[in-house]
Structure 1
Amino acid sequence: MLTSVVIPVRDAADQLLYTLFSLNLQFTAFEEFEVIVIDNASCDGIAERIERFHAHYPLRVVRFRRRMPYYHLLNTGLAQASGELIILLSCNMIVPREFIGVHQHAHDHSGELVLLGLGTKRIYSVYEPDFSPIQQQECREWLVQYPHIKRPYTQHCTVPLLEESQIVGGLPFHIGLPCPEAEKRHAIRQKYGPRLEHHRSPWTLFQTQHVSILRDNLFRMGRCKELPRLEMERDLAKRLWRKGCRFQFDDKLTLIKQERVIRKAREQSVSKKNRRVQ
């Protein structure tokens, strides 16, 4: 089963390269999957750095010159995908070696499945000077616990902290911090089981940062609608559910979410106002 991994990205070159490197370590044969990166007008040199990256699998990059809404990124990625199975993945997720294989195996046994991400830990793979005060403090305390992780040599520049050899050895999966969102999902799994039996609205758990769906099921739904990200995700998931797709948590994978700068709600609000004025 050919699998297409679609990864939208904007200004996260260091995190993305760690994610792409983790896909180099898959147990699955490299001719069985492809990766499509949708670059949303990044300004941090992603295109040039991806050109220098040696991928063991087919890797394509679609670059937009101006910033596009998220639904447009997904529609573009889905149109570019060749696989029978589509995995939507966030640019800052380091994946375990069995990642592709687990998704393929799950869909081999169910044609109407929507496989939802469950297990996630957090890690400071990259130091960013614009981290919030809470992130700065957590990062410092975390680095104290693990002296073998590189320290940022400056507080004023973005600095990658992980070595590729540490990803090969699986270190991030042993030193990751708890993820509050994942803990909530585990509580839901404990109540309803992995197949979410008797859950009245399983579509509310759909997130494009880690989910897989057969291509045919997605294309029966049509394009992602022109809505803000959360509303778009809910709309797509609800349409899949109404068409008979079954939502299930993945019990076999734990992904590593790389911390990124938290954009302040006020800044986002100002940005929206500016767009309306224009």
Structure 2
Amino acid sequence: MLASVVIPVRDAADQLLYTLFSLNLQLASFEDFEVIVLDNASSDGIGERLERFSAHYPLQVIRFRKRVPFHRLLGTGLAQAGGELIVLLSCNMIVPREFIGVHQQAHEHTKDLVLLGLGTRRIYSVYDPAFSPIQQLECREWLEQYPHIKRPHTHHQTVPLLEEGQIVSGLPFRIGMPCPEAEKRMAIRQKYGPRLEGHRAPWTLFTTQHVSLPRDTLVGIGGWRQLPRLEMERDMGKRLWRKGCRFQFADKLTLIKQERSIRKSRQQNLLRKNRRVQ
């Protein structure tokens, strides 16, 4: 089963390169998956840096000169994907070596499956001067605990903090911090089990940060609708659920979420999401 890993990105070159490097370390055969990067009009030189990146797997980079809505970005990724399995992944997720294999095996055993991300830890892989005051403080305190992690030599520009050898050794997975979103999912998993039996609305857990589903299923329900991102994800999850798809947590996987600066647009999305929860 060929898996197509679709990664949207905008102005996160350093985090993306760490993510792509972690995919170089997969236990699965490099012929069993491809990666499609969707560059949504980045302005941080990501194109040139990707040209210098040596991928062990087939890598497509699709660049948009002007920023496009998220639904169009994902629609382009789906159109370019050649795999039977679509894996949607955030650009700032470092994945474990068994990442591709776990997704492939789960779908080989269960038809019409939507495999949801579960375990996530956080790490400061990159120092960003645009970090919020809270992020700045947390980054300093976290770095004090691990003297073997590189320190930013300047506070006025973005500085990568990890060495590739540290990713090879699995260090990020040992020193990652708790992730509030993942802790909420773990509480749901504890209550309903990995297959979410008895959960009335598993579709609300659908997110494009880490999920996999069959390509035919996604195409069959009409793909992505023209909605703001959070509403688009909810809409997709609900349509998959109504179609009869089975929602299940990826119990065996823990990913590393690389901290990014909180932009105004992201803050507005979080506020909208919190209003819905209330």
Which range, TM-score by smaller chain?
Answer: over 0.9
- Residue 158, structure 1, aligned to residue 161, structure 2: no
Partner Cα distance (1:81, 1:160) in 2: 30
**CA drift at 1:112:** 1.0
Going from structure 1 to structure 2, the CA distance change for 1:234 and 1:46 (only over 3 Å counts) comes to same
Q: Which amino acid in 1 is paired with 2:189? A: R
Which residue does the alignment assign to 1:113? 113
Partner Cα distance (1:31, 1:232) in 2: 32
Partner Cα distance (1:80, 1:198) in 2: 36
SS at match of 1:30: coil
Partner Cα distance (2:267, 2:248) in 1: 36
Which residue does the alignment assign to 1:79? 79
SS at match of 2:165: helix
Residues 205-244 of structure 1 aligned to structure 2 (within 5 Å): 205-244=205-244
Q: Deviations over 1:78-102 (max 9, x none)?
A: 0100000000000000000000000
- Over aligned residues, Cα RMSD in angstroms? 1.2
Which residue does the alignment assign to 2:197? 197
Which residue does the alignment assign to 1:16? 16
Q: State the 4+ residue runs in structure 1 displaced beyond 4 angstroms.
A: 265-269
Q: Deviations over 1:178-205 (max 9, x none)?
A: 0000000000000111000110000000
- Residue 256, structure 1, aligned to residue 256, structure 2: yes
Residues 25-104 of structure 1 aligned to structure 2 (within 5 Å): 25-104=25-104
Which residue does the alignment assign to 1:130? 130
Partner Cα distance (1:179, 1:124) in 2: 12
**CA drift at 1:268:** 5.5
SS at match of 1:21: helix
**CA drift at 1:266:** 9.6
Partner Cα distance (2:228, 2:185) in 1: 23
Residues 261-276 of structure 1 aligned to structure 2 (within 5 Å): 261-264=261-264
Going from structure 1 to structure 2, the CA distance change for 1:265 and 1:50 (only over 3 Å counts) comes to closer
Going from structure 1 to structure 2, the CA distance change for 1:257 and 1:267 (only over 3 Å counts) comes to closer
TM-score by length of 1: 0.95
Partner Cα distance (2:265, 2:19) in 1: 27
TM-score by length of 2: 0.95
**CA drift at 1:71:** 0.6
Partner Cα distance (2:121, 2:259) in 1: 10
Going from structure 1 to structure 2, the CA distance change for 1:196 and 1:59 (only over 3 Å counts) comes to same
**CA drift at 1:264:** 3.1
Q: Which amino acid in 1 is paired with 2:105? A: H
Partner Cα distance (2:22, 2:267) in 1: 33
Partner Cα distance (2:267, 2:209) in 1: 23
Q: Deviations over 1:16-67 (max 9, x none)?
A: 0000000000000001100000000000011110000000000000100000
Between Structure 1 and Structure 2, how many residues are aligned?
269
**CA drift at 1:158:** 0.1
Partner Cα distance (2:267, 2:233) in 1: 23
Q: Deviations over 1:183-234 (max 9, x none)?
A: 0000000011100011000000000000000111111011200000011011
SS at match of 1:27: coil
SS at match of 1:73: helix
SS at match of 2:31: helix
Which residue does the alignment assign to 2:181? 181
- Residue 6, structure 1, aligned to residue 6, structure 2: yes
Unmatched runs of 5 consecutive residues or more in structure 1: 270-278
Q: Which amino acid in 2 is paired with 1:150? A: K
SS at match of 1:31: coil
